[in-house]
Amino acid sequence: MRGNNVPKSTRSKKILAVAKCAALGSVAVTAALLNLVLHDWVASLHLAFVIVFWLITLGLGAHALTVAIATRGRRNGEDPDGPGGGRGGPGPDPVDPLVPDPLGHQDDFGLAA
């Protein structure tokens, strides 16, 4: 039960600090390994920054895609407003013939004749 009485803003700052330290540590290790091959600290450091943050970006993108797919699969077609209509059949017709302009897009406020 560690950290239950710590304010939320302090917890999020600690998590952010840990993430920053992990990223910088990964950059340092990658730069050291690249220096063994390139024999140039400046080039190794620049390339390490690019590689690590590229991997972080790919990881965050993959996580977002996985969550979106899992959320969509969890609904099991129960989206009544979607094109398939879900379990309740097709949704309401987006263009109701009884109302010629439901959103008022045709109002020109007298600007066009």
Say what the pLDDT of residue 48 is.
Answer: 97
Q: What percent of the chain has pLDDT over 90?
A: 49
Q: So where are the chain's domains?
A: 8-74
Q: What is the pLDDT of residue 53?
A: 95
User: For residue 12, what pLDDT is reported?
Assistant: 87
pLDDT value at residue 49: 96
Query: What's residue 8's pLDDT?
Result: 72
Low-confidence ranges of the chain (pLDDT < 70): 1-4, 6, 75-113
Contact in structure between 48 and 34 (CB atoms under 8 Å): yes
